[in-house]
Amino acid sequence: MNTVRTYIILLVVLIAFAAAPRPLAAAITTNGIGIYTGIAPNMGGSMHSFVQQQHFNTRNGIHDINRVQDGIDTAKIERPMGVTVGIDWKVIIEEHFFFRAAANYSKSVVGGSGTTAWTDNGGISYYALDCRYSVATFDVPLLAGFTIKFWDDVRFYVGGGAAFASGMYDNEFSSEDHPDPFTRKGQFRGTGFPLVAYAHGEYYFTTRYAISATVLYYGGSTPLLRDGIHADTEGLNGKGAYDYARIDFTGYRFAFGITFYFGSDQ
Amino acid sequence: MIPRTGQRTHRARAALLAAGAAFSLLIASAPGAAGELSFGVNAGATYDVNRLGEDINRYNVVMEAYSDENPGSMTQSMGTPVAPAFGLSARYQFNQLLFRVGLYFATPVGSIEGYITPADGQENRLKISTFQISMPATVALVLPIKEKTYVYLGLGLTYHQIYVKMSQSNPQQTAALFEANGLSSHRTDQYGGQFGGYHILIGAEFPLLERLTLTVDWIHQEARSQALENKGTDANGAATTSPKRTFSATGDFAFIGVNYYLQI
């Protein structure tokens, strides 16, 4: 809670500084509002959980859930790739320094589901295990760094900071051909403060508008979370009713967008 | 043919020595040339140094599930920390080429600790200590903007040295639980080793004073160790060399620093 309070205070200070009366804001040269969209490969990290570890022979979640076995019709479970959309506000100070606040939403849209082969008796018999992983995140990063303008119409940014991130992770594992059919669902909701690294390039096609390309790296996760939604006890000898997992925000995002600049100079 | 244990370390060390020698020759053989030599110090951070987050997560899920299913037991999960990094660098820039040799040290802030206390049992406190020393040698393309104002993009080889130690204060208390879930019940598991990898570097440089500049660097590195031998002790305190395991030094570092240019 102290970390959340600190984060909110920093955000308020940034907004107050940028909206300050003219004499105070004399050092600020330019404000920019941008919108963008892109992809987030390998969202969610391993998405490992207790149920997977104890019942489905995995040690690293989606990274080692895939198995093949004669007689089992498997379909590879690919790591999910997500789509990300966002809006940001940049403040360029004295031509070389910037602050950036943004709001982003990312959701896995491709991958994360399939069928693997699974045994619960040491390999005497195998069964098909249908798996589904999905993850979505909402984050508000606060960044600072350095910017260089060159060739009169190109600007480059590099910097870092931290984000307040809220994650939503759902998993589902079911086996219909097992003698004791079961479904195990997990739903996890939590927040964290991942570190963020940022590299961004812009090309001004007018004096106020620029198209952009961005690479972001997030590093962080939530604390361990308990699935308090589902209590699946049917099948699997009643085990695995509750699941435990963290939501991993670590990974890259690649985005393209457009920015509108206003202020004294860009 | 997969290189045997030690061969990868030797190759990485040889590659880095070759890069350092080439760097030195380049400077020494170009007296009066238009190159610029500089030395820098920098500080930064990374998340989950040596990629122990998944190991930590495996212990956490087991301890938390046990605590939920066993009233009267208590547990505290281990966190995956941010690790500050501190480094030095030597750079030689010649026209649009930048040669950079660096050295940085990263270790988590505070200790990584957790515990599990079975009902009517004694606390077993888990603690992880780790650090990473990396030496990247980079060749980069430089986009000059004006004097001592650059953007650069490069790649190169990296020599890594890592150390990981996990200790349990009372392993006998949770040996059955951990072993049933494929986790270690040793009193200590200790690994250390050297290996090579590669990295990509993107950065920018701005002038502060005539010979002093500010640098911002983002390094993405990829590396995995060979199988390292355990130098630990089992639950009874006897020395053990198993299991062997690999570690990943893959990760991203962000640095900010200052650079001082020498007159050559």
ipTM for this prediction:
0.84
Residues of chain B contacting A48 with CB distance shorter than 8 Å: 54, 57-58, 61
Could you tell me the domains of chain B?
7-262 (2.40.160.20)
pLDDT at A217: 96
SS3 B200: strand
CA dist., res. B204 & res. B201, Å (int): 10
> Out of B46, B58, B143, whose CB is closest to A59?
B58
What's at A223, amino acid-wise?
P
Q: How many CA atoms lie within 13 A of A59 on its CB side?
A: 8
Q: Measured between CA atoms, how close is B3 to chain A, in angstroms? A: 25
Residue A49 to chain B, least CA–CA distance (Å): 7
Tell me the C-alpha distance between A41 and A54, whole Å: 28
Rounded to 5 degrees, what are φ and ψ at A20? Answer: -65, 160
- Which stretches of chain B are DSSP H helices? 7-28, 53-69, 175-180
> What tokens appear for B3 in the block?
């290189």
Contacts of B181 in chain A (CB under 8 A): 53-54
Count of C-beta atoms within a 10 Å radius of residue A160: 23
Rounded to whole angstroms, the Cα distance separating B152 from A215 reads: 15
Bridging pattern class, strands B74-76 and B97-106: unpaired
- The amino acid at A187: Q
For residue B9, the model assigns a pLDDT of 58
Contacting residues of A for B106, CB less than 8 Å apart: none
Please answer yes or no on whether A244 and B65 come within 8 Å at the CB atom. Answer: yes
pLDDT at A16 over 60: no
Res. A9: pLDDT tops 90: no
Other CB atoms within a 10 A radius of the CB of residue A200 amount to: 26
Q: CA-to-CA distance for B240 and B165, rounded, in angstroms? A: 14
Closest CA to A54 of A165, A159, A186, A163: A186
Chain B closest-CA separation from residue A232 CA (Å): 15
Give the pLDDT confidence of B88-133 residue by residue, as tens digits.
Answer: 999 999 889 999 999 999 999 888 999 999 988 999 999 999 999 9
- B198 conformational bin, left if phi > 0, alpha if psi -120 to 50, beta if neither: beta
Contact state of B64 with A245 under an 8 Å Cβ cutoff: no
8 A C-beta contact, residue A55 and residue A12 = no
Kindly report, residue by residue over A211-262, the tens digit of the pLDDT: 999 999 999 999 999 987 767 777 777 777 789 999 999 999 999 999 999 8
Pairwise CA distance, residues A1 & A5, whole Å: 6
Is residue B184 within 8 A of residue B174, CB to CB? The reply is no
Interface touch B218/A226, C-beta < 8 Å: no
| CB neighbourhood size of A83 (10 A) | 17
- What per-residue confidence (pLDDT) applies to A27? 62
Beta bridge partners of A196: A161, A218
Contact between chains at B206 and A242 (C-beta distance less than 8 A): no
CB contact at 8 A, B165 and B128 = yes
**Is residue B152 within 8 Å of residue B95, measured between CB atoms?**
no
B200 in Cβ contact with B239 (< 8 Å): no
- What pLDDT, on a 0 to 100 scale, did the predictor assign at position B25? 53
Asked whether the predicted pLDDT for residue A6 surpasses 60, the reply is: no
Number of H helices, E strands in chain A: 2, 12
Distances (CA, A) of B149 to A26, A143, B6, B103, B208: 24, 22, 42, 23, 10
Q: Quote the DSSP letter at residue B3.
A: P
Question: Cis link prior to B144 (omega < 30° from 0)?
Answer: no
Report CB contact under 8 Å: A219, B48: yes
Domain ranges in chain A?
A: 2-263
Length of chain B: 264
pLDDT on residue A123: 82
Position A173 confidence tier, pLDDT thresholds 50, 70, 90 = very high
- pLDDT digits 0-9 by tens, A75-134: 999 999 999 999 999 999 988 899 999 999 999 999 999 999 999 888 888 999 999 999
Distance of CA B34 to the CA centre of its chain: 35
Q: Which fold has domain A2-263?
A: Porin (2.40.160)
Which is nearest to B255 in space by CA: A197, A216, A4, A123? A197
The residues facing B39 across adjacent strands are: B90, B260
CB A244 within 8 A of CB A230: no
Which residues of chain B fall short of a pLDDT of 70? 1-34, 264
Size of interface A-B (CB pairs under 8 A): 96
If you ran DSSP here, which 8-state letter would residue B245 be given? Answer: B
> What are the residues whose beta carbons fall under 8 Å from the beta carbon of A233, sequence distance 6 or more?
A241
pLDDT value, residue A150: 81
Paired sense of beta strands B112-117 and B82-94, if any: unpaired
